[in-house]
Amino acid sequence: MLTEAQVRELIGELQEPFLHKALKDLDGILEVKIKEEKNHVSVKVAIAKTGTAEQLQLQTQIVNTLKEAGAQTVGIRFGELPKEVIEKFRANEQEENPGLLNGSKTKFIAIASGKGGVGKSTVSVNLAVALARLGKKVGLIDADIYGFSVPDMMGITKRPVVRGEKILPVERFGVKVISMGFFVEDNAPIIWRGPMLGKMLNSFFNEVEWGDLDYLLLDLPPGTGDVALDVHSMLPACKEIIVTTPHPTAAFVAARAGAMALRTEHELLGIIENMAYFESKVTGEKEYVFGQGGGEKLAEELKTEILGKLPLGQPDWNDDDFAPSIYQLDHKTGQIYQEIAQKVAKLLG
């Protein structure tokens, strides 16, 4: 027959689901009663929030633990921990795990462009995958909240799940992804003003359980609007990559995004020139359909370098592992992305 001390020892090791501490460390075991004649154990446990799915999970753990130890039947009541205990341990948890914006070793890389249609999101998803192929721990925020496209580009069909008070990002190709697209039904339009967009971005940083990341990439909306400004203010140590095409007008407009990065003391890692040329599969001849020189002109103006030039084309699609915008490692363009990823990793040390 179990004793009160044994019961406290057994369930004291179980973790409280919201503060992620052992019940014994929180003084969360309020009461233990044992009816020897019926081999029945009754306990009262305090947690941070009652009436939740997490409470049910802990209840199952307690019942299984005590029955495996010999109890015939188990009764459980739940109460709530005192506010001062919750606040104390939440503060401790924030100090131990300061999150992405406070003291994290994660390096932030914003992918920006002056205008839409230059392939910024395509670059974002492929650079993220290429960095993951180098063995890096990579996250990707689809911060283009009005024009979210990352889940579709990566062939992601799952939705994030919630654990405790944190959102778990969806992982594909070794990249952890969060996007406004996960929270919108049927591709509905987003009709929000600036402050609401800032709150959503803040949630992506602070309410998502990213874990230990080497790099967190942000696919910014084109231009220099509210979201881009919010990112610049939230992430003082962010690095930035500007995507342009060879066309002089695209490069001229992209210079605005680069200039904003420099004014807000974001370090420019370099320029990626997308749609630099079209290469014929038949002859191997390159045609410069959008002209030449835009990337070089932009790099010179912003006093940075060209990280790589990407051809006009599309990936080889695989019905079994469908991701319409991801280039495989053995694809010519996939190899260029790997070279860019290696340059970025080297620049970031």
List domains and CATH numbers for the chain: 4-96 (3.30.300.130), 107-347 (3.40.50.300)
How many Cβ atoms are within 10 Å of 300's Cβ, its own excluded?
12
Burial class (CB in 10 A: 0-12, 13-18, 19+), 52: middle
C-alpha distances (whole Å) from 128 to each of 192, 308, 312 are 28, 15, 19
The pLDDT value given to residue 257: 63
The pLDDT value given to residue 138: 95
Q: Which strand ranges, in their side-by-side order, compose the sheet holding 29-35?
A: 29-35, 40-47, 73-80
Q: How far apart are CA 266 and CA 136, in angstroms?
A: 22
Q: Evaluate if pTM is beyond 0.95.
A: no
Residue with more model confidence, 236 or 296: 296
3-state helix, strand, coil split of the chain in percent (to 5) is: 40, 20, 40
Count, in order, helices (H) and strands (E) of the chain: 10, 15
pLDDT tens digits, 81-134: 998 888 887 766 555 555 565 556 889 998 988 777 788 899 999 999 999 999
Averaged over 284-313, what is the pLDDT?
87
pLDDT tens digits, 57-85: 899 999 999 999 998 999 999 999 998 88
Torsion region of 32: left, alpha or beta (phi above 0 gives left; psi -120 to 50 gives alpha):
beta
The pLDDT value given to residue 188: 60
Is residue 120 a contact partner of residue 230, using CB atoms and an 8 Å limit? no
Averaged over 31-45, what is the pLDDT?
91
Q: How far apart are CA 245 and CA 294, in angstroms?
A: 7
Residue with more model confidence, 131 or 195: 131
Q: Please provide the average confidence, as pLDDT, over all residues in the chain.
A: 83
Is residue 78 a contact partner of residue 46, using CB atoms and an 8 Å limit? yes
**Helix/strand/coil for 45:** strand
pLDDT tens digits, 139-167: 999 887 777 889 899 999 888 888 777 88
Contacts of 262 (CB under 8 A, 6+ apart): 268, 302
